[in-house]
């Protein structure tokens, strides 16, 4: 007997919930989207904090299990649906490579982007925010160069096979499109973006979240 899994994803458009949203759509599983009104700080409400004590988006509910942290949700979804091959098998040479890149994306690229977007959290004076933003432009460009070099050798981040890492990377690259050296200015990242944004799952999610993909489809 097949048991139908019903996921609930607490999300906000263009937030860190975007990667799990991509993956849920890619898996073709039943799921419910629950909007967290970030504009009104709903992620800090008593009701939401009971699910996610960090008060951040996203949160995923799978039956009685509650998971927060975007990267952890992505890995959990990939592991829960092994037939979709979004994570290499346990005995695969690529399994540790998968974890390497997922950790790099969330601990390095995402972390540096957060400093860029919220410089006021890292300086005592607003007068220093411009310096932080300029510094982060350079740091993020260096990280993008590393990823671009990897994609020169293979279609996807882990190997020539699609994985959950690619959806997480796609989310971060979409966030980074306002940089002075945006992802589209790197040849291999541009190719990756144009390839990924043609996927039905990505198009469906971006339609729901009202994300314009026109710049990637030219």
pLDDT at position 1 is: 39
Instruction: Decide: 20 and 58 in contact? Cβ < 8 Å.
Output: yes
Instruction: Decide: 213 and 196 in contact? Cβ < 8 Å.
Output: no
Alpha carbons 179 and 177: distance in angstroms, whole number:
6
Residue 89: is its pLDDT beyond 60?
yes
- The residue-averaged pLDDT of 108-115 equals 98
Instruction: Name the DSSP class of 4.
Output: P
SS3 55: coil
Which tokens belong to 70?
A: 């975007």
How many other CB atoms sit within 10 Å of the CB of residue 140? Answer: 23
For residue 108, what are the CA distances in angstroms to 20, 98, 193, 204? 19, 15, 20, 28
Query: Which value, to the nearest 10 degrees, does the dihedral of the CA atoms of residues 155, 158, 161, 165 take?
Result: -100
pLDDT at position 5 is: 63
First to last CA, the chain: 46
pLDDT band at 196 (very low <50, low <70, confident <90, very high): very high
Instruction: Decide: 176 and 144 in contact? Cβ < 8 Å.
Output: yes
Alpha carbons 185 and 67: distance in angstroms, whole number:
35
Hey, what domains does the chain have and what are their CATH numbers? 6-84 (3.40.30.10), 95-199 (1.20.1050.10)
pLDDT band at 6 (very low <50, low <70, confident <90, very high): confident
Give percent of the chain with pLDDT exceeding 70: 98
For residue 141, what are the CA distances in angstroms to 100, 107, 146? 20, 16, 9
pTM (2 d.p.): 0.95
């Amino acid at each position: 007997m097949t048991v139908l899994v019903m996921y609930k994803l607490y999300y906000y458009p263009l937030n860190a919930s975007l990667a799990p949203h991509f993956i849920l759509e890619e898996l073709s599983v039943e799921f419910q989207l629950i909007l967290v009104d970030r504009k009104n700080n709903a992620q800090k409400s008593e009701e939401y904090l009971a699910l996610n004590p960090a008060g951040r988006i996203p949160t995923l509910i799978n039956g009685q299990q509650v998971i927060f942290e975007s990267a952890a949700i992505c890995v959990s979804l990939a592991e829960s649906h092994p037939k979709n091959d979004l994570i290499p098998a346990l005995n695969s040479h690529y399994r540790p490579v998968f974890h390497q890149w997922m950790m790099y994306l969330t601990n390095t690229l995402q972390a540096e982007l957060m400093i860029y977007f919220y410089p006021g959290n890292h300086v005592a004076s607003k007068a220093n925010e411009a310096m932080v933003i300029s510094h982060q432009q350079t740091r993020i460009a260096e990280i993008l160069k590393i990823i671009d070099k990897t994609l020169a050798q293979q279609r996807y981040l882990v190997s020539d096979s699609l994985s959950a890492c690619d959806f997480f990377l796609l989310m971060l690259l979409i966030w980074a499109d306002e940089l002075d050296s945006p992802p589209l200015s790197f040849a291999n990242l541009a190719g990756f973006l144009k390839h990924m944004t043609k996927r039905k799952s990505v198009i469906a999610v971006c339609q729901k979240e009202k994300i314009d993909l026109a710049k990637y489809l030219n």
